[in-house]
Amino acid sequence: MSSPTRPARPEPEPATTPAEELLVLSERTPPPSQANDALVAGTAIASAVFAVVFAVALLLEAPLPVYGIALALALLLLAVAVRRYFTDRFPDVEAAEPRLHLDEGDDAPIADVEPVGRRPFLTRILIGAGAVLGLSFAAPVSSLGPSPGNALRTTAWQRGLRVVDGDGDPLRPDDIPVGGVATAWPNGAVGDEPSSLVVLRLSGQPQPPTDLDWVVDGSVVAYSKVCTHAGCPVALYRERDSALFCPCHQSTFDANRGAVPTFGPAARALPQLPLGVDADGYLVALGDFESQVGPAFG
């Protein structure tokens, strides 16, 4: 198919040819073929049949594979028909086109009406005014969100607020078995992501830098669940080495030692919640986190 019947002319003369005319280098006319005609007709008709199958199957709410495969076959068979149709009906032409000689330059003026050469500063004032107007359009951007203020340094936790589970039921220290871990929230703010908490009952002895005053029963501690690396939930706990583990980027924290990072990209410990027990025996916060929750900012 690729063998030209006429040899390629290496250097056609572009100057003598009108721009629109195709500079044909080689041309090969396909021989008439009944086999090809049959192929074009067969694939085109089969494509139409599958298109009907697709439409009818979809309207009758047949299973996805039925109408899906029918649509795919209709498209693919039509592709074959189009390809074979063109190869048989048109000569295979190889042609040349002269390139635009960009490097030769062109000095024609871009417009024929030139400005009168006076008071160029007026042009600059006009462009400057347009630029200022354009910049002023940025003002509504500040309406897109509230001012951060202190929002990222505080959470919903307050002194006396009960620690509740995902259903809003308050937790007692006894609800956490040894080696157990629970996701918890401030009462009234279930689902407030920056306030999310992991409450654990350590099987080992908590050590500094854990604040031992905030450990209930000698083994129940609560840390922020928001990873200090990129803010994913620190969702996994491995009791063997008391490791809190973030499944997103594998930051690992030692729950026995104030949740300091021991591996991975997190650089700061998970903040420990000041934790206590109220008169009714439920876990409560003694205050908000004392260090910033979640990833670094600004």
Q: Could you give the C-alpha distances from 151 to 202, 266, 285, in angstroms and in order?
A: 31, 22, 19
Residue 230 binds another protein (CB under 8 A):
yes
Residue 130 binds another protein (CB under 8 A):
no
For another protein, which residue of 31, 105, 115, 298 counts as binding (CB under 8 A)?
298
Among residues 287 and 295, whose Cβ is nearest to another protein? 295
Residue 106 binds another protein (CB under 8 A):
no
* Terminal alpha carbon distance of the chain: 64
Site string for another protein, 72-91 (x = CB under 8 A): xxxxx-xx--xx-xxx-xx-
Alpha-carbon 89 to chain mean position: 47
Q: Which stretch binds another protein (CB under 8 A): 30-38, 93-101, 130-138, 273-281?
A: 93-101
Closest C-alpha among 121, 130, 215 to residue 176: 215
Among residues 264 and 277, whose Cβ is nearest to another protein? 264
At its nearest, how many Å lie between another protein and the CB of residue 144?
4
Site string for another protein, 143-182 (x = CB under 8 A): -xxxxx--xx------------------------------
Residue 20 binds another protein (CB under 8 A):
yes
At its nearest, how many Å lie between another protein and the CB of residue 279?
29
Closest C-alpha among 226, 199, 208, 216 to residue 291: 226
Residue 192 binds another protein (CB under 8 A):
yes
Sign, Cα dihedral of 250, 251, 255, 257: positive
Residue 271 binds another protein (CB under 8 A):
no
For another protein, which residue of 97, 169, 217, 241 counts as binding (CB under 8 A)?
97
Rounded Cα gap, residues 93 and 27, in angstroms:
5
Residue 204 binds another protein (CB under 8 A):
no
Angle between helix axes 64-89 and 34-59 (nearest 10 degrees) is 160
Residue 4 binds another protein (CB under 8 A):
no
Rounded Cα gap, residues 291 and 227, in angstroms:
13
For another protein, which residue of 1, 64, 108, 113 counts as binding (CB under 8 A)?
64
Rounded Cα gap, residues 281 and 170, in angstroms:
10
Other Cβ atoms less than 10 A from the Cβ of 181: the count is 18
